[in-house]
Amino acid sequence: MAKQFYFRLFSSGLLVLYFMVLQAEVAWGQGGAAEGRKEMVPAMFIFGDSLIDNGNNNNLPSFAKANYPPYGIDFSGGPTGRFSNGYTMVDEIAELLGLPLIPAFSEATGDQVLHGVNYASAAAGILDITGRNFVGRIPFGQQIKNFQTTLDQITENLGADDVARAIGKCIFFVGMGSNDYLNNYLMPNYDTKNQYNAQQFADLLAQQYTHHLTRLYNLGARKFVIAGVGRMGCIPSILAQSPNGSCSEDVNLLVLPFNANVKAMINNLNTNLPGSKFIYIDIAQMFEDIVTNARVYGLSVANRGCCGIGRNRGQITCLPMQTPCPNRDQYVFWDAFHPTAAVNIIIGRKAFSGDFSQVYPMNIQQLSTLNIETN
């Protein structure tokens, strides 16, 4: 559906710049933003892994790709590179913020970047060495360099002062850490587990995470949304390795120190980085609620993927042209590792307007309206 978007930036809290009208075809997938939507923030910039990647790995020499059917079977744009049958969590959040779907860095052109850019990359981690078994991927550090490239392009066109004020009002969404466990610590070809115990590794990740987030702050970011790691011991790929097909409490316990460290990190950054606000999405708690109360959410299958091969459809993830389950909206998991669009939408909505037990110390809706003074 053709829509017109007015791109805008804010200066000194007042709307001062109107950009030319852009006629664009936007693949809204499920739902879609309503006509005349109000944009709550100028833009959203996204950093992360396959849970929120929307195509940055498509042209990389990588085994971590999802630009083939049946991925995207329920997305109007088809298989774009999203590791889902439809929406990702950040697609839903963008829509709730009144923004168009955020383009991948690998594809974003022209005025598209003024609404934000998605830099997430499947198999990427906080640590540069994470995910090397998939060959090509874009680690968090390089994602930040890619953001700096975008920032330089915008600044060249609009001027440093106006860009700095606008960037301070934008949402910076970061979801990292899962691959540092799944495709590093738990991989037999990595020596990480022999070098660090669970707490030591969580401390290493928090140290590097703090460094990367501080870099973003120094580039002008002020409003941060940090997603924790979910209950990874309950994903189909781990269930498939369990003798009785139940969750691995060893894996769930392994990642607990990381989430605890991220919460502490957020408190420290809120204290030590003037004018910033970091909030934490408790993905593990949300996931547990969804599984425990699956039927309340219209879900019925939580122990296997909708598309995959082997035990729990998790031994081999969704293959090209494989026929997925027909009742996708009733599944918690789409493939061996990733939630269905139905669950992504639930989590996105909880992150946007959830209570203190789900999003700490405020939700995304509250963060978007928070007035932060930028220098």
Which residues are known to be catalytic?
A: 50, 335, 338
Residue 138's nearest CA partner among 56, 65, 220 is 56
Residue type, 306: C
Distances (CA, A) of 12 to 41, 57, 69: 14, 38, 47
Asked if 84 and 341 touch (Cβ cutoff 8 Å), the reply is yes
Gap between the Cα atoms of 351 and 265, Å rounded: 19
Residue 66's nearest CA partner among 311, 310, 335 is 335
Residue 126's nearest CA partner among 81, 83, 82, 175 is 175
DSSP letter at 174? Answer: E
Please identify which residue in the block is written with the tokens 């940090």: 226
Residue 63's nearest CA partner among 129, 146, 151, 122 is 122
Asked if 151 and 85 touch (Cβ cutoff 8 Å), the reply is no
Bridge partners, 9 (sequence order): 17
Please identify which residue in the block is written with the tokens 């498509």: 58
Gap between the Cα atoms of 212 and 209, Å rounded: 5
